[in-house]
Every structure is written in C-alpha cells, then in structure tokens.
Chains A and B, each alone.
Chain A
Amino acid sequence: MITIKYFASLKSIAEKEEDSLDIENPISIDQLSDIISKTAPKMGAVIREKKVMISVNQEMASADTIIRDGDEVAFLPPFSGGSI
C-alpha cells in the first residue's frame, strides 16, 4: 500500500488530504498519475498540466520515478513560505 498526500490548494481539488492505494508491483509516477486521473479527473488534470511538484518519501521526484509498496507520495503546489 502506498500513501498519497495532498497539500494546500490541492486538498480542495482532490477533496481529501490523504489517500492510500494498493499496488501489486512497483509503478512509475506517470502510471500513478493515470490511476488518479481515472478516479479524480480534476486532480489528474492539475498533474498533467504540471502545475504541481511530486515527492516520494520526502524527496523530489520526476515522472519516471518508481514507487514501491510502503512509499509516501506527495503532491505539492508551488511553495510560498517565508514572507515579503
């Protein structure tokens, strides 16, 4: 099972903060995006338009990064910490 996290503006688009998904074999971020697009088209569109960054186990990932059972995937909108 993998854990999927959504932050900031993506929580309202995904309509959840966290999700989990059973995977039989390792999959790529690209394949995960396809799965999400089927169940949550709005979130899928945001991912496809590359409006988000993606991390796996708290490290930045790319479309071909492989996700394995037990991993934590997070969808991250553009950062806006700090101030000024």
Chain B
Amino acid sequence: MSTTIDAKIRIQLENFSITDEIEAMKKVSRNIGGITTFLGTGREISKGQNISELNFEHYPKMAEKKLEEIREKSIKDFGIIDMSIIHRIGHIDIGENIVLIVAAGEHRGETFKACEWAIAELKRTTPIWKRETTSTGEVWVQDTP
C-alpha cells in the first residue's frame, strides 16, 4: 500500500482528500482543461436493510495491477491525459469515502466517458470485496448493482 499522493493507483486504509487529489492531478499537465471525479461513499440502506458498517478486503498485488490496467486503458482508449484511482479497504462507516476516480483531459467529454467506464470496470474486474454489517449479521456482497 502506498500513501504518497503522487501515486496514481492506491489501495489504502486511511481516508483521502478529494481536494488534494484534484490539486495533485492539476499539476500533471498544463493542458488539462477538464477534470471529472467519481466518489463512492458508504450507503446506509442496502436491499431494504439498515447497514451499520462496511468492511472492504482486497487481493494485494492483483487489485493494484487491475487498477493500473484500468488507468492505462482509460488514457489510451478515451484520450484523457491522466487518471488516478484510490480505493479504501478495512472498516468504513456510513457516509465515509470509499473510492475516488479522477479523470483529467483537455476537454470534458472524454473525462466523463473515462470516469464512467473506469468505475464500471473496477467493479467488474478488480478483486475487492465488500462485507456489510446489518442487524441480522454480516454478509459478503456478491453482486454489483
């Protein structure tokens, strides 16, 4: 796990600052004219049940490798300038930050498309798992709504 803000791919226990991540991205190139972000946060209700906490687990090395592949493909296929992806693991309370994707490009169009694709691809291909704690117990979530 890396905690330096310069790293574009990070899986970490600690929270992140959206402002700091955007400012770090802006330093990548003076050609950046648009930045799209996606922030995923802990939701209280899932399938009609109240969730008291979330826990995320990942497969070290493979998860980072998949996120790097998503970043590289986003840059190549959508023509954006750069992308950062940060995903938290461990215990997460309701309302806390979980995942942040920052897509930067010369124009807004490609950054919206890259950001949308990247979060969908993350959920589809990256070995990260979510465990929800409800009043009836703990359950590993096995679908990606």
Decide yes or no: A78 and B99 within 8 Å by CB, A8-B57, A84-B40 being known contacts: no
Q: How many residues of B contact A (CB 8 A)?
A: 32
Decide yes or no: A79 and B126 within 8 Å by CB, A8-B131, A58-B59, A74-B62 being known contacts: yes
Closest beta carbon of chain A to B9's beta carbon, Å: 13
User: Which residues on the A side are within 8 Å of B26 (C-beta)?
Assistant: none
Bound state CA distance, A7 and B58, in angstroms? 8
User: Which residues on the A side are within 8 Å of B78 (C-beta)?
Assistant: none
Q: How many residues of A contact B (CB 8 A)?
A: 16
Mostly, the A contact residues are loop
Decide yes or no: A82 and B40 within 8 Å by CB, A58-B59, A58-B65 being known contacts: yes
In the complex, whether B15 has a CB less than 8 A from a CB of chain A is: no
User: Which residues on the A side are within 8 Å of B123 (C-beta)?
Assistant: 79-82
Q: Contact residues of A with B, CB < 8 Å?
A: 5, 7-9, 55, 58, 74, 76-84
